[in-house]
Homo-oligomer: A and B are copies of this chain.
Amino acid sequence: MNKQDEWHNNPIGVFDSGVGGLTVAREIMRQLPNERIVYFGDTARVPYGSKSKETVTRFSRQIVHFLETQDVKAIVVACNTVSAYALEELEKEVDIPMIGVVKPGVRAALDATVNKKIGVICTEATMNSGIYSRYIQENDSSVKILGKACPLFVPLVEEGLWEDPVTDEIARRYLTELVDSGIDTLILGCTHYPMLRSTVRKIMGESVTLVNPAYETARELKALLADKGLESEHRPELGTELYRFYVSDAADKFQRFANSILTYGILSAKVIRIDEF
- Residues of chain A whose beta carbon lies under 8 Å from any beta carbon of chain B: 43-45, 50-52, 54-55, 151-152, 155-156, 158-159, 165-166, 169-170, 248-250, 253, 275
Chain B residues near A159 (CB-CB < 8 A): 151-152
Known A-B contacts A152-B159, A155-B155; A52 and B169 likewise in contact (beta carbons under 8 Å): no
Residue of B whose beta carbon sits closest to that of A169:
B166
Residue of B whose beta carbon sits closest to that of A173:
B166
Min CB–CB distance A274 → chain B (angstroms): 10
CA A82 – CA B26 in complex, angstroms? Answer: 35
Q: What are 6 A-B interface contacts by the 8 Å CB criterion?
A: A44-B55, A54-B249, A55-B250, A151-B158, A152-B156, A166-B170
Chain B residues near A275 (CB-CB < 8 A): 275
CA A159 – CA B166 in complex, angstroms? Answer: 15
Residue of B whose beta carbon sits closest to that of A59:
B44
CA A44 – CA B51 in complex, angstroms? Answer: 6
Known A-B contacts A155-B152, A159-B151; A50 and B169 likewise in contact (beta carbons under 8 Å): no
The reply to whether B151 and A155 form a contact with Cβ atoms under 8 Å apart is: yes
CA A170 – CA B170 in complex, angstroms? Answer: 12
Chain B residues near A165 (CB-CB < 8 A): 169
CA A155 – CA B253 in complex, angstroms? Answer: 18
Chain B residues near A152 (CB-CB < 8 A): 155-156, 159
The reply to whether A249 and B155 form a contact with Cβ atoms under 8 Å apart is: no
Chain B residues near A55 (CB-CB < 8 A): 44, 248-250
CA A169 – CA B152 in complex, angstroms? Answer: 15
The reply to whether A52 and B170 form a contact with Cβ atoms under 8 Å apart is: no
Chain B residues near A54 (CB-CB < 8 A): 249
Partner of A50, one of B52, B151, B253: B253
Partner of A249, one of B51, B166, B250, B253: B51
Chain B residues near A169 (CB-CB < 8 A): 165-166, 169
The reply to whether A250 and B52 form a contact with Cβ atoms under 8 Å apart is: yes
Chain B residues near A43 (CB-CB < 8 A): 51
Partner of A166, one of B44, B158, B166, B248: B166
CA A51 – CA B247 in complex, angstroms? Answer: 12
CA A45 – CA B42 in complex, angstroms? Answer: 10
Most buried by B among A249, A253, A275: A249
CA A52 – CA B253 in complex, angstroms? Answer: 10
Min CB–CB distance A58 → chain B (angstroms): 9
